[in-house]
Amino acid sequence: MTAHTQSQLEALNACIAACEHCVTACLQEPDVQMMARCITLARDCADVCALTARLVARGSAHAASLLKACAETCQACAEECAKHEHRHCQECVEACRRCA
Amino acid sequence: MTAHTQSQLEALNACIAACEHCVTACLQEPDVQMMARCITLARDCADVCALTARLVARGSAHAASLLKACAETCQACAEECAKHEHRHCQECVEACRRCA
Amino acid sequence: MTAHTQSQLEALNACIAACEHCVTACLQEPDVQMMARCITLARDCADVCALTARLVARGSAHAASLLKACAETCQACAEECAKHEHRHCQECVEACRRCA
Amino acid sequence: MTAHTQSQLEALNACIAACEHCVTACLQEPDVQMMARCITLARDCADVCALTARLVARGSAHAASLLKACAETCQACAEECAKHEHRHCQECVEACRRCA
């Protein structure tokens, strides 16, 4: 595996973990109603990053298409999470931006 | 769920099942070497269809991006499978084309 | 594909779609705080059903282990959804019970 | 995230990448026929590890069931890969054993 692939996988895996944790933590917030959009976008982001990581790891011819879709979902998730001051949201912003 | 969504999910789910079955069956063929590219593309196709089905079912804002990527993987898989006369490949062609 | 496998896949796919829809619909409810546990369990249920469907479709030696884990997640999701009168929850209960 | 969770995720993610790479590399071997069982088991292992990592990252109540199923698939994949001297198989053995 090249250093570039390794670095992509690390960013994708960190983003998946941050999004999964963010969804779980958002669902436990007292202001969960305000977090609904955040949950929605982090759910999508984790799923798209997870498939992208698989295609990157296997050297798929379709990895490029997924990396593009993945940049969109990461961007959308980061923008929404950035509106919230919760620590899990801020960590998610950072992971999504690095990944995008 | 609208009839359109229902119909998309049926095509996606049929394609996932056909691709999964095609990979398994290809691995049991005596000429497995000739099936390597077919296995590779059906593996990608099943994975991309599976994520697309999830995003369609949840009404995701990112479903459109994935549907586009999915059409590409279905097209690529159908083209390769069409070169083989095995019944599992022919069934896979049909499911992929309907899905694409 | 045997009729038994076909019937398993139909139940699994219906359950995935019902859970995905239930999560999205719960996040739009005014009483989303009350739905947090429902969202949590439907998220798990959709993911476990999705992997199970893949392993069943490919005739995996590990399908049995996953079917067992899947029955647990479906059961847990059905129990929680049954506490809510929303139509999407009731549809999810039915799909989960059939699947379990 | 606890150090234990972090360590589980690292082992799972390393195993997913090793299995994905092993499948791709096996499909390019001249003796692909001999690698069919290896491909089959690594395909399952990557999929089960991927779901397990998601459930662990989100702190799911169902993570324990999946960790158990995951240990089985890792064990099975490691046993098969250990029969082959290809470097990608040996790397896969190591990642699967650490993960199991």
Which CATH number characterizes residue C52's domain?
1.20.1270.360
| % of chain A at pLDDT higher than 90 | 97
Instruction: For residue B29, give both structure tokens.
Output: 């063929």
Instruction: For residue B12, give both structure tokens.
Output: 């996606």
Check whether B52 has a pLDDT greater than 90. Answer: yes
Q: Indicate the DSSP class of residue D100.
A: -
Residue A88: pLDDT band with limits 50, 70, 90 = very high
Using CA coordinates, name the residue in chain A closest to C41: A24
pLDDT at C44: 98
pLDDT at D1: 82
Q: How far apart are CA B42 and CA A42, in angstroms?
A: 28
D10-55 pLDDT, tens digit per residue, is: 999 999 999 999 999 999 999 899 999 999 999 999 999 999 999 9
Q: Which residues on chain D place their C-beta less than 8 Å from a C-beta of chain C?
A: 40, 43-44, 47-48, 51, 54-55, 58, 60-62, 65-66, 68-69, 72-73, 76
Q: How far apart are CA A46 and CA A51, in angstroms?
A: 9
What DSSP string describes B22-69? HHHHHHTSTTGGGGHHHHHHHHHHHHHHHHHHHHHHTT-TTHHHHHHH
pLDDT at D10: 96
Asked if D39 lies within 8 A of B24 by C-beta distance, the reply is no
Q: What's the sign of the alpha-carbon dihedral B8, C54, C91, C28?
A: negative
Q: How far apart are CA C6 and CA A50, in angstroms?
A: 27
Q: How far apart are CA A26 and CA A39, in angstroms?
A: 7
Using CA coordinates, name the residue in chain A closest to D13: A13
Nearest to A91 by CA among A44, A42, A48: A42
Nearest to A24 by CA among C21, B87, B19, C43: C43
Q: How far apart are CA C67 and CA C31, in angstroms?
A: 33
pLDDT at A1: 82
B25-36 pLDDT, tens digit per residue, is: 999 999 899 999
Residue spans of chain C under pLDDT 50: none
Q: How far apart are CA B96 and CA B52, in angstroms?
A: 14
pLDDT at B1: 82
Amino acid at position C41, single letter: L
Place of tokens 């801020």: A90
| % of chain D at pLDDT higher than 90 | 97
Query: Which member of D21, D57, D59 has the closest CB to residue A58?
Result: D21
Residue A25: pLDDT band with limits 50, 70, 90 = very high
Amino acid at position A96, single letter: C
Those chains having 3 or more beta-carbon pairs within 8 angstroms of chain A are B, C, D
Owning domain of residue B87: 3-99
Using CA coordinates, name the residue in chain C closest to A41: C24
pLDDT at D43: 98
pLDDT at C1: 82
Whether the Cβ atoms of residue B17 and residue B40 lie closer than 8 Å to each other: no
Check whether B49 has a pLDDT greater than 90. Answer: yes
Q: How far is CA B75 from CA A60, B27, B82, C12, in A?
A: 15, 21, 11, 26
Count of the separate structural domains present in chain D: 1
Whether the Cβ atoms of residue C93 and residue C78 lie closer than 8 Å to each other: yes
Amino acid at position C18, single letter: A
Asked if D53 lies within 8 A of A16 by C-beta distance, the reply is yes
B53-80 pLDDT, tens digit per residue, is: 999 999 999 999 999 999 999 999 999 9
Backbone angles phi, psi at A19, to 5 degrees: -65, -45
Chain B neighbors of A37, CB-CB under 8 A: none
